[in-house]
């Protein structure tokens, strides 16, 4: 569990772009009552930065300011500006400078050993990792803003005062939870507490949906509502059939995690699509799936409507992504909602048997 948030949130965000999910109930909070989750996350980030970025002399006051402003959505830096700054530094500049620093340190070690001093020297941050105060300020702040934005979108009830307090205490080597205690608590939270909370909330949500007009339930527990029946003569009947669809998937709180139409995406996903596909980012493309290769709720649900039809599916976790969840956008034990328009059905066709080649005629026996 070491460096949970550092690896998942910081490195991913710096090098690839935001990889997080729904906005959380982030608040400044109060130091009057200890918050275990916020403190453990902050300490985890602090320990991780000590391992991964010990060569960089961040301006930590600016870093903490960036964390708070990013988490509270108060930064003047756009997400694209933030990522551009961080990519340029971490991808293009840091490695070359790090090599130069290491060469300088090795030369110093060699000179010291030549004089008979074999004492091991632990090197800390090196000022030459930045060109000057201006770059140090901008990278420190942007790094904090990016972390703060990831926290805001992480679906975690974080109190910023305890998150930052923990990071400060790690730097001061005076933490209230040691590294083993931090890892133990985060393991408990992510693998026990959070899945149990999701399971309870999902069951309550589905129970309310089930009582709504027009909603039906299958033996498996799948809830569905036929919005438009479509052509009953053209429907999927075999798990090997393919369906071509337009769809929108959302969690129980209404946050969209995937969609065919650009206008249905979250602002973060819209920005990502613009960045990676600037020419056709608004284009709506259908998706084609084989029913045997999707979650069980889809396999069953897409056989309940005909071509041209529309259906809403409420999928219990056990028919969805289960205890493992679906990456950072779909939590463990989380029930989901899908609004689907069935554009076409492509029936499975058994491949024709291979034609057998006639056996070559036997050669006549040669006369002796």
Q: Which helix (H) or strand (E) holds 71?
A: helix 60-71
pLDDT confidence of residue 367 = 56
Q: C-alpha angle with apex 247: 242 to 248, nearest 5 degrees? A: 145
For the chain, how many residues are written? 368
Q: Is residue 355 part of a domain?
A: no
Residue 187 covered by a domain: no
Q: Phi then psi for 53, rounded to 5 degrees?
A: -125, 30
The mean pLDDT of 104-111, rounded to a whole number, is 90
For residues 12 and 111, state if they share a domain.
Answer: yes
Contact 166, 39 (CB under 8 A): yes
CB 248 within 8 A of CB 256: yes
pLDDT, tens digit (0-9, with 9 covering 90-100), for 77-106: 998 899 999 999 999 999 999 999 999 989
Between residues 284 and 195, which one has the greater pLDDT? Answer: 195
Please tell me the predicted confidence (pLDDT) of residue 11: 38
* E strand spans, the chain: 216-217, 223-228, 242-251, 256-259, 287-290, 310-315, 336-346
217 — pLDDT class (breaks 50, 70, 90): very high
More confident residue, 286 or 268: 286
So what's the pLDDT on residue 366? 60
> Highest mean pLDDT: which of 72-76, 79-83, 309-313?
309-313
Domain that holds residue 334: 202-346
Question: How many helices (DSSP H) and strands (DSSP E) are in the chain?
Answer: 12, 7
What is the average pLDDT across 279-289? 89
Same domain assignment for residues 164 and 19: yes
pLDDT value, residue 86 = 96
What predicted TM-score, i.e. pTM, was given to this entire model?
0.76
- Asked if residue 212 is part of any domain, the answer here is yes
Question: Both 38 and 144 in a single domain?
Answer: yes
Q: Is residue 264 located within the same domain as residue 166?
A: no
243 and 123 both lie in a single domain: no
Q: Binning pLDDT at 50, 70 and 90, where does residue 9 land? A: very low
Strand partners, 244: 288, 344
> Which conformational region is residue 224 in: left (phi greater than 0), alpha (psi within -120 to 50 degrees), or beta?
beta
* Domain assignment present for 302: yes
Together in a domain, 173 and 226: no
- Domain check: are 140 and 52 in the same one? yes
Span 157-172, mean pLDDT? Answer: 97
**Range 228-243 average pLDDT:** 94
Instruction: Give the Cα separation of 41 and 186 in Å (integer).
Output: 8
Domain count, the chain: 2
Q: What is the pLDDT of residue 1?
A: 39
For all residues of the chain together, what is the average pLDDT?
89
CATH no. for residue 254?
3.10.50.40
The reply to whether 197 falls in a domain is no
Average pLDDT over residues 343-356: 85
| Residue 69 included in any domain | yes
pLDDT for residue 23:
45
Could you tell me the pLDDT band of residue 42, with boundaries at 50, 70 and 90? very high
- Pick from 272, 319, 60, 15: which is nearest to 153 by CA? 272
Give residue 228's pLDDT.
Answer: 96
**One domain, residues 58 and 115:** yes
Model confidence at 210: pLDDT above 90: yes
Lowest pLDDT segment from 35-39, 213-217, 263-267? 263-267
- Per-residue pLDDT reduced to its tens digit, 121-158: 888 899 999 999 999 999 999 999 999 999 998 878 99
Instruction: Provide DSSP, 247-270.
Output: EEEEETTS-EEEESSGGGS-HHHH
Closest by CA to 302, choosing from 366, 219, 242, 221, is: 242
| Residue matched to tokens 């026990």 | 192
Q: Are 223 and 217 in contact (CB under 8 A)?
A: yes
107 and 252 assigned to the same domain: no
**pLDDT at residue number 122:** 85
- Residue 362 reports pLDDT greater than 90: no
DSSP state, residue 221: S
R_g of the chain, CA atoms, integer Å: 28
Is 170 a member of any domain?
yes
Distance CA 185, CA 36 (A): 8
Of the pLDDT bands very low, low, confident and very high (cuts 50, 70, 90), residue 20 is very low
In a shared domain, residues 120 and 161: yes
Least confident of 37-51, 255-269, 328-342: 255-269
CB neighbourhood size of 24 (10 A): 16
> Is the same domain home to 104 and 235?
no
Residues 151 and 284 in one domain: no
Q: Could you give the 3-state DSSP secondary structure of residue 227?
A: strand
β-pair partners for 345: 243
The conformation of residue 317, written as its DSSP 8-state character, comes to G
12 pLDDT band (50/70/90 cuts)?
very low
Confidence of residue 10 (pLDDT cuts 50, 70, 90): very low
Residue at 93 is within a domain = yes
Q: How far is CA 60 from the centre of its chain?
A: 26
In this prediction, residue 272 has a pLDDT band, given cuts at 50, 70 and 90, of confident
């Amino acid at each position: 569990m070491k460096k949970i948030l550092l690896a998942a949130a910081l490195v991913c965000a710096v090098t690839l772009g935001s990889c997080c999910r729904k906005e959380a109930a982030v608040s400044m909070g109060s130091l009057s009552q200890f918050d275990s989750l916020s403190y453990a996350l902050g300490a985890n980030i602090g320990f991780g930065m000590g391992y991964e970025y010990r060569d960089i002399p961040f301006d930590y006051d600016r870093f903490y300011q960036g964390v708070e402003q990013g988490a509270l959505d108060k930064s003047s830096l756009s997400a694209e500006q933030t990522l551009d700054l961080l990519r340029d530094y971490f991808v293009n500049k840091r490695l070359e400078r790090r090599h130069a620093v290491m060469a300088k340190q090795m030369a110093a070690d060699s000179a010291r050993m030549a004089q008979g001093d074999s004492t091991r020297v632990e090197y800390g941050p090196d000022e030459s990792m930045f060109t000057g105060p201006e770059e140090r300020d901008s990278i420190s702040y942007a790094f904090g803003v990016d972390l703060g934005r990831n926290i805001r979108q992480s679906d975690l009830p974080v109190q910023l005062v305890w998150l930052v307090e923990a990071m400060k205490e790690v730097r001061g080597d005076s933490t209230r939870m040691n590294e083993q205690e931090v890892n133990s608590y985060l393991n408990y939270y992510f693998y026990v507490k959070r899945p149990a909370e999701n399971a309870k909330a999902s069951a309550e949500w589905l129970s309310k949906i089930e009582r709504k007009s027009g909603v039906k339930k299958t033996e498996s527990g799948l809830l569905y509502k036929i919005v438009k029946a479509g052509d009953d003569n053209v429907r999927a009947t075999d798990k090997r059939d393919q369906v071509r669809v337009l769809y929108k998937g959302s969690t129980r709180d209404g946050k969209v995690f995937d969609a065919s139409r650009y206008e249905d995406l979250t602002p973060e996903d819209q920005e990502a699509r613009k960045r990676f596909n600037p020419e056709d980012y608004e284009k709506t493309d259908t998706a084609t799936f084989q029913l045997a290769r999707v979650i069980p709720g889809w396999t069953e649900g897409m056989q309940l409507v005909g071509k041209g039809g529309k259906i809403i599916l409420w999928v219990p976790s056990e028919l969805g992504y289960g205890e493992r969840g679906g990456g950072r956008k779909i939590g463990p034990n989380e029930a989901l909602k899908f609004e689907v328009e069935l554009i076409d059905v492509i029936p499975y066709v058994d491949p024709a048997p291979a034609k057998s080649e006639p056996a070559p005629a036997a050669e006549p026996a040669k006369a002796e």
